[in-house]
């Protein structure tokens, strides 16, 4: 496993393969051009249909890779405008998942999704545009029960269902006319990046996989998440989780809680960086239908979710991007899981959970694009 950090450290050996550290230094001159805000956007949800719809809108192996340097004294994060993309749907589990499809030009395809209740637009727009600019097709989708995808009741996370949605997305992407089925990658962040470990383990045909700030071990995260809550808030959250779970057994609607909130509130996550999500993912308040709630039962489910245990079964190249001050997913468990993957590398970035969307975006995007170019290149062009 290769490891790229903000400062060089010695070579180590661990897990089932070698891993090394190489420097990727965050340029302090880079600043985000997006405005700060703390208020949440307007929320809502759409169930979507089952018919396919279409509408126009608006990487060499990474071992030893060093992010390109910039010469300008002040840099701005590049936020490219989306090329034409199509609104498509694919079948999954008796319903349909809504997706944005960005046609590509080089045969490679990146399948993308966000974590917990983060829908496809706030989760993927920034990185999807960068990947598409580099020539890759992108399929960015909503898990069932969220966003524009079908499925009821709404705002309910069911891990096995979401994994099945990824399988369905891979099968659908392989049928697209400009996609080589042997050159498909998966990309997720936070909870969805945890899913990437399981999905990559189940799909040996994948060309590569990217897990950005992944939640790989709910058991390791749970004590930290509890310490971020006040005792009263923790009791109220788990009380609602129990009530929500019991209510689901008799057909009651989900009992929803905010996905993130400040310490002392009853929310799924109240870590110090949990509230960065709004300014990172929706700084311009464009995503007015993004409902930032989740069924409270997730508080009982998450400690048992440990997708990092599948790392040893991953055969494709795996890039794990961690942020060293991440309080929402924790970098340590992700690094530990990556050590067990036969062909993994870890990139360390300074910053908190959402840094890849904020001050570390340029480094994160360039590193990931380089990785994709190495592993999604046509077979004859790949570097051994």
Residue ranges, the chain, pLDDT below 70: 1-83, 379-384
Q: How far is CA 106 from CA 184, 211, 377, 381, in A?
A: 12, 22, 8, 12
Task: Count the neighbouring beta carbons within 10 Å of the beta carbon of residue 16.
Answer: 13
Q: SS3 letters for 47-108?
A: CCCCCCCCCECCCCCCCCCCCCCCCCCCEECCCCCCCCCEEEEEEECCEEEEEEEECCCCCC
pLDDT for the residue 7: 34
Note the pLDDT tens digit of each residue in 281-338: 999 999 999 999 999 999 999 999 999 999 999 999 999 999 999 999 999 999 999 9
Query: Do 350 and 67 form a contact (C-beta atoms < 8 A)?
Result: no
Read off the tokens for 243.
């009530």
pLDDT for the residue 22: 38
Please give the backbone phi and psi of residue 215, each rounded to the nearest 5 degrees, phi first: -95, 100
Q: How far is CA 73 from CA 29, 64, 142, 277, 372, in A?
A: 7, 26, 39, 28, 29
Q: Are strands 12-14 and 17-19 parallel, antiparallel or unpaired?
A: antiparallel
pLDDT for the residue 3: 58
Report angle CA 335, 25, 23 to the nearest 5 degrees.
60
- Helices (H) then strands (E): counts for the chain: 9, 16
Q: What is the pTM of this model?
A: 0.81
pLDDT for the residue 170: 98
């Amino acid at each position: 496993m290769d490891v790229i950090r903000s400062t060089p450290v010695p070579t180590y050996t661990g897990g089932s393969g070698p891993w090394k550290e190489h420097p990727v230094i965050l340029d302090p001159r880079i600043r985000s051009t997006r405005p700060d805000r703390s208020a949440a956007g307007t929320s809502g949800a759409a169930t979507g249909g089952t018919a396919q719809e279409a509408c126009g809108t608006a990487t060499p192996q990474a071992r030893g890779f060093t992010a390109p340097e910039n010469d300008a004294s002040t840099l701005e994060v590049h936020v490219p405008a989306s090329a034409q993309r199509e609104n498509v749907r694919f079948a999954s589990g008796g319903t349909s998942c809504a997706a944005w499809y960005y046609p590509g030009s080089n045969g490679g395809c990146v399948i993308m999704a966000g974590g917990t209740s983060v829908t496809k637009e706030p989760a993927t727009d920034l990185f999807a545009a960068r990947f598409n600019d580099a020539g890759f097709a992108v399929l960015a989708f909503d898990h069932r029960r969220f966003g524009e995808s079908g499925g009821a009741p709404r705002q309910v996370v069911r891990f096995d269902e979401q994994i099945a949605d990824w399988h369905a997305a891979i099968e659908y992407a392989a049928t697209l006319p400009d996609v080589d089925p042997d050159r498909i990658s998966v990309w997720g962040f936070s909870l969805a990046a945890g899913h990437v470990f399981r999905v990559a383990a189940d799909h040996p045909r994948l060309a590569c996989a990217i897990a950005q700030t992944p939640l790989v071990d709910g058991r390791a995260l749970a004590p930290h998440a509890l310490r971020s809550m006040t005792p009263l808030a923790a009791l109220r959250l788990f009380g609602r989780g129990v009530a929500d779970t019991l209510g689901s057994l008799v057909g009651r609607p989900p009992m929803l809680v905010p996905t993130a909130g400040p310490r002392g509130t009853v929310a799924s996550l109240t870590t110090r960086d949990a509230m960065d999500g709004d300014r990172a993912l929706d700084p311009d308040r464009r995503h007015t239908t993004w409902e930032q709630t989740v069924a409270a039962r997730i508080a009982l489910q998450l400690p048992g979710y440990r997708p990092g245990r599948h790392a040893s079964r991953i055969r494709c190249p795996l890039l794990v991007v961690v942020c060293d001050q991440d309080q929402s997913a924790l970098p340590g468990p992700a690094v530990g899981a990556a050590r067990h993957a036969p062909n993994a590398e870890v990139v360390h970035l300074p910053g908190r959970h959402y840094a890849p969307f904020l001050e570390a975006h340029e480094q994160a995007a360039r590193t990931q694009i380089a990785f994709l170019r190495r592993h999604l290149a046509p077979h004859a062009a790949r570097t051994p």
